[in-house]
Amino acid sequence: MLALPRKAVSRRALLAGGLVMGMPSIVRAGPEFDFKFATGQDPSHPNNVHLRAALDRVRERTNGRLSIRLFPANQLGTETDVLSQVRNGSIEFLLLSASILATFVPVAGIANTAYAFPDYDAVWRAMDGGLGQHTRALIEKVGVIAPGRIWDNGFRQITSSGREVRAPKDLSGFKIRVPPAPMLTSFFAAIGASPTPMNFAEVYTSLQTGVIDGQENALSLIATTRLYEVQKFCSLTGHSWDGYWPLANRKAWSRMPEDIRSVLTSELDRSVVDQRKDVAERDRSLRTELANKGLAFIDIEKSDFQRALASTSYYQTWKQKYGDNAWSLLEEACGKLT
């Protein structure tokens, strides 16, 4: 009575296990391209929210052939370290601010020119137009690919604790952290501050311990990195705009067939539209949110800072360094600076 059930169960087990003679085993293949994408921002930052969405769509549209894992918040090293790793191929992709990229590709820093862009319309005229194309071409000449349009980092504001910054004179001797970016270092030196280049990973502790007097960044970064916990004031100077370039290792990029590269570029550009909108909207709402967390906002007269800067050789110096071509592309979008 028990023999037949045992035989039936045994046959079903063999069938389920794919062990019947002549039946091929089924193996699920992994991705054809398995890459890493590094960013320096907190996982909740708009960069990572919208980049993650883009990478999910890329995986779906390529049927899993291209899988790119996201590593936010400097998990793979500081931005300058990761840039070196992208260049040597140990990391394939990086979202890097123009201000830090300028240490490797100097013309990238032209986007940070102090008080160049009066508004976002001027920013996107330049960066989606001739100036962006010019910058991308020079990036790619040094062996790194720049797929897609530049992402928004917003207009930069100054935060402080022991001193309220209301006018240029308030920055005299003020020890302010800046990224290792020549354009920003030059701006703060020109108006009398004491710029201190530093990787962002060190900023919170340096503010907490008084190693620096303040720092400057967009409101979205001030919020996601909780700098309001170690700063009292935020002066709405809007002194410089910054953006994030998506960068790719040239060899990794070349390994992918054209159809996959096209999907990746199109999805990055789709997400950059959402990211730009998100950053602009968050900047408008974050003033209330950060004020509720104890950060006191100071409205300043930008014209005071612009006049102080125009009285120095700042613009003439950088026009000479960038050359007439790049500078004319900047002024086509934002108006005459010199």
pLDDT for the residue 2: 41
Residue 22 placed within a domain: no
Residue 125 placed within a domain: yes
Residue 330 placed within a domain: yes
pLDDT for the residue 117: 98
CA distance 328 to 308: 23
Instruction: Work out how many domains the chain is built from and give that number.
Output: 1
pLDDT for the residue 338: 86
Q: Which residue has the higher pLDDT, 13 or 151?
A: 151
Average pLDDT score over residue span 11-29:
42
Average pLDDT score over residue span 83-108:
96
pLDDT for the residue 15: 39
Give the residue numbers spanning the domain of 219. 31-334
Residue 204 in tokens: 């919170």
Residue 24 placed within a domain: no
* Residue 149 φ/ψ region, left for φ over 0, alpha for ψ in the -120 to 50 degree band, beta for the rest: beta
CA distance 78 to 3: 68
Q: Band the pLDDT of 107: cuts 50, 70, 90.
A: very high
Q: Which residue has the higher pLDDT, 80 or 24?
A: 80
3-state per-residue secondary structure call for the chain? CCHHHHHHHHHHHHHHCCCCCCCCCCCCCCCCEEEEEECCCCCCCHHHHHHHHHHHHHHHHCCCCEEEEEECCCCCCCHHHHHHHHHHCCCCEEEEEHHHHCCCCHHHHHHHCCCCCCCHHHHHHHHCCHHHHHHHHHHHHCCEECCCCCEEEEECEEEECCCCCCCHHHHCCCEEEECCCHHHHHHHHHCCCEEEECCHHHHHHHHHHCCCCEEEECHHHHHHCCHHHCCCEEECCCCCEEEEEEEEEHHHHHHCCHHHHHHHHHHHHHHHHHHHHHHHHHHHHHHHHHHHCCCEEECCCHHHHHHHHHCCCHHHHHHHHHCHHHHHHHHHHHCCCC
Q: Band the pLDDT of 199: cuts 50, 70, 90.
A: confident
Residue 250 in tokens: 């040239």
Contact indicator for 269, 148 with CB cutoff of 8 Å: yes
Q: Band the pLDDT of 1: cuts 50, 70, 90.
A: very low
Residue 15 placed within a domain: no
Strand partners, 63: none
pTM: 0.89
pLDDT single digits (tens) 205-242: 999 999 999 999 999 999 999 999 999 999 999 999 99
Residue 143 in tokens: 């062996």
pLDDT for the residue 3: 44
CA distance 217 to 206: 15
Across the chain, mean pLDDT equals 92
Q: Is the pLDDT of residue 4 over 80?
A: no
pLDDT for the residue 17: 43
Average pLDDT score over residue span 65-72:
98
Pairing of β 157-160 and β 214-217: antiparallel
Domain of residue 172, CATH code: 3.40.190.170
Residue 23 placed within a domain: no
Q: Is the pLDDT of residue 118 over 80?
A: yes
Strand order in the sheet with 194-197: 194-197, 175-178, 214-217, 157-160, 233-235, 296-298
Share of the chain above pLDDT 70, in %: 91
pLDDT single digits (tens) 293-338: 999 999 999 999 999 999 999 999 999 999 999 999 999 999 999 8
pLDDT for the residue 109: 97
Could you count the other beta carbons within 10 Å of the beta carbon of residue 16? 9
Nearest to 227, CA basis, from 309, 158, 125 = 158
Q: Is the pLDDT of residue 27 over 50?
A: no
Residue 315 in tokens: 């613009």
Residue 38 placed within a domain: yes
